[in-house]
Chain A
Amino acid sequence: MGSSGSGVTGACVEALIARVEAEERGAAFGARVAENQRRVFQIAYGVLGNAADAEEVAQEAFLRAYQKFASLREAEKFRAWVNRIAFRLALNRQRGHRRRLARDTVWHVAGTSDAVDGARSAEERVLVQRLRSEIESLPEKFRRVLQLSIVEEMGAADVGAVLGIPAGTVRSRLHTARKLLLEAMK
């Protein structure tokens, strides 16, 4: 009777420990999401130009991070990893969109109106749309640096970590990108 009682207690304790661990994990993950969500969303939005798509990409990036959360407990590791994965997911989604747009030009017309849903006034919308269009025409290595550099809290080191290039190269490419953009925005 005693051994049976202690067995039940042991199972209860184990279940309790597992539950507490799951709750701690959930709380820690929630804190990491809160710290990074704005930036991750902006990374995706900068590439996609559509809030709904960017939100989905951000969610997918965090869900993937949760699967690897055991190795991403450190704030810096989590930040770098989630930045990188969000950027890649956004680029993948953009490629998918482009393939679909190439198949159906009607969607292309509809898609351009969604691409500026963040800007406030009509004039701003037009200008942001123009900027986005000019950014899209930049050579890829400059475009990627610019897309990431305009995100809040993304310094040259963070951009470099996402793209796998030194911070100095990021600064140099950013300068060239801005120059090309300034020239194009006549």
Chain B
Amino acid sequence: MTKACVKWKEQLLEAALTGTAAGDLEEHMKTCAACAAEFEVLQARRERMDTMLPLVARGAELPGEFRARVVAAAEAESERKRARSVGRWVLVGATAVVTAALVMGLLLHWRAAPTTLEAELSAAERLAEWRAPSDVLLQIPGQEILQTTPRLGESYMKVPINTEEE
């Protein structure tokens, strides 16, 4: 292929691929042995390429038991999924039962026992009423009278005396 024939390169490739040379290329090849030879080479290469190309994808075969293996694997996977799904529902159910039992237990507990606030108030009241045993020793004679101190202008004599004890 001469330098002058470079312009025919693209057309030669096209011709080799399609198997037919365009009119002007055909005319050129009648007078140019180099281009005619290049065309032959390209055509042979294209034929070889077309023969070999399928081998790129079809060069190997699947084993005979492929179908059976795939079906078995698919069914096993499906069974596993079903088992997982059942297990999940069992877990959800168990969780729901345990939660419900806890809630019921807490409710029953709250109903049976006084509320925390009530219990605290009751304890405070009991504390306020509490007297130490030594309180008796601190009492003095006439304390009863002193406990009922007369108001301004009143006399101790008018203070009522508790006679019921006597």
Contacts and interface: CB of A to CB of B under 8 A. Distances in A.
Interface in B24-49: 42, 45-46, 48-49
B60 A37 contact: no
A62 B56 contact: no
A29 B59 CA distance: 26
A10 interface: no
B124 interface: no
A46 B63 contact: no
Given A151-B58, A182-B42, A63 B17 contact: no
Given A43-B57, A132-B56, A37 B77 contact: no
Contacts of A183: 13
Nearest to B76: A63
B55 A128 contact: yes
Question: Chain A, interface size: which category?
Answer: 35 or more
Interface stretch (B67-75, B98-106, B107-115): B67-75
A181 B97 CA distance: 69
Nearest to B14: A179
Nearest to A186: B45
A54 interface: yes
B62 interface: yes
Contacts of A175: 17
Nearest to A46: B57
A185 B13 contact: no
Nearest to B43: A182
A58 interface: yes
B119 to A, nearest CB: 53
Contact of B56 (A29, A58, A66, A131): A131
A85 interface: no
Given A33-B67, A119-B55, A182-B45, A54 B60 contact: yes
B73 A63 contact: yes
Contacts of B17: 175, 178-179, 182
B71 A30 contact: yes
Interface string A26-59: 1001100110011001110110010100110011
B59 A182 contact: no
A116 interface: yes
Contacts of A42: 57-58
A128 B61 CA distance: 16
B73 A59 contact: yes
A33 B42 contact: no
B37 to A, nearest CB: 14
Contact of B59 (A55, A58, A118, A146): A118
A34 B56 contact: no
A135 interface: yes
Nearest to A180: B13
Contacts of A140: none
A147 interface: yes
A43 B62 CA distance: 12
B57 A45 contact: yes
Contacts of B23: none
Given A37-B67, A59-B73, A131-B56, 15 more contacts: A26-B71, A26-B75, A33-B71, A34-B67, A37-B70, A41-B62, A42-B58, A46-B56, A62-B74, A128-B55, A128-B59, A152-B54, A152-B57, A182-B16, A182-B42
